[in-house]
Structure 1
Amino acid sequence: MLTVYGDIRSGNCLKVKWLLDWQGMDYRWIEVDIMSGGSRTPEFLALNPAGQAPTVVLADGRPLAQSNAILLHLAQTSPLIPSDAYDRARMLEWLFWEQYSHEPYVAVARFQRLYLGKTAGEVEARVMEREDAALNRLEAGLADRDWLAGEAFSLADIALVAYSRMAADGGFDLSGRPRLRAWIARVEAALGLDPYD
């Protein structure tokens, strides 16, 4: 059976959980408290020397890290990866962009505001500016479509909804981004999630 080592508060961990649940896959979840050093223990570092969650251990015992790599591996035979080559490349484009231009800012702002108790003024201005730009990029990317890559729900939507739906935790206002809000609701519905408060 697949084992997931993850922190339920992390968007990167949640997107793996949501994919597994959506696919109806059996798995064992082992909670790793990142805040108390759970991903820095010798046992965890033996699985993932980078000390990052999520990490999965496949049924054959091989570990795999990096949330979007995990998504791609687990969904390789599912309709969540577009069959059209261009749509598949667009999905990958969004997955790479999510880890480079979106997650580093909304997750950092969320962590600092929600878990460290910082005020908006105490969060580095560059973090706030870059996340605002990323949310605007998502709003623009949804201008003529319901889903990010192609005409159907894909891994791009799962990967990007994780922290987008939590943006308010980092001090970001989505009220002026109607397409983004509508997309979040569509993805939550597709995954069977309650709306994030």
Structure 2
Amino acid sequence: MLTVFGDIRSGNCLKVKWLLDRLGHDYRWIETDVMSGATRSTEFLAMNPAGQVPAVVFEDGRTLAQSNAIIGFFGDGTPYVPADPWDRAKMYEWLFWEQYSHEPCIAVARFQRAFLGKAADEIEPRLVERGRAALARMEAALAARDWLVGDGPTLADLALVAYTRVAPEGGFDLGPHPAIRRWITRVEAGFGIG
């Protein structure tokens, strides 16, 4: 059986769980608390030398890490990966941007505020500035369209909703972003996220 190591508090882990659930995959979830050092154990590092979750172990023993690589693998051949080469490339453009320009700001600020208990004035101002810029870019992209790419939900929407929907936990106000708020509702419905 497929085994997924993940921390349920992590948006990166949740996007893998959401996709597997949506596609009806049978898997075993092993809760892996990153705060307790579980990803730094000798056993875990032997499986995933990066020491990060999510990590997937296939029945044949192969492992795959990095959330967007995992959802890319399982999403291949589904409606969540566009058949059109241009739309597929645009989806990947958003996936790479998510890990480079969105998650490092939104998720890190959320982690510091919600899990480390830091006050707003303890968060690095540049982190907040970059997070707001990421939300502004998404708002502009979604102002005239329902989805980030094409005419239906793709892996780009799934990847970006994971931390965007909880951005307020990091101190980011979604009030000024009506297109994002509407999009979150659509993505949650499209992937069956509760």
TM-score with structure 2 setting the length: 0.98
Match of 1:138 in 2: 138
Shift, 1:54, TM fit: 0.3
Provide the aligned C-alpha RMSD in A.
0.7
After the TM superposition, which residues 1-197 of structure 1 pair with which residues of structure 2 at under 5 Å, given as runs?
A: 1-194=1-194
Structure-1 separation of matches of 2:67 and 2:193: 19
Shift, 1:193, TM fit: 2.2
Query: 1:172-197: CA deviations, max 9, x gaps?
Result: 00011000000001011112223xxx
Secondary structure, in 3 states, of the residue corresponding to 2:56? strand
Match for 1:168: what amino acid? Answer: P
Query: 1:100-155: CA deviations, max 9, x gaps?
Result: 00000011100110011111110000100000000001001112210111111100
Structure-2 separation of matches of 1:59 and 1:73: 15
Aligned residues: 194
Residue segments in structure 1 that go unaligned for 5+ positions in a row = none
TM-score with structure 1 setting the length: 0.97
Structure-2 separation of matches of 1:76 and 1:2: 17
Structure-2 separation of matches of 1:140 and 1:46: 43
Match for 1:121: what amino acid? Answer: D
Runs (4+) of structure 1 exceeding 4 A deviation are: none
Shift, 1:27, TM fit: 0.5
Matched-pair identity in % = 65
Residue segments in structure 2 that go unaligned for 5+ positions in a row = none
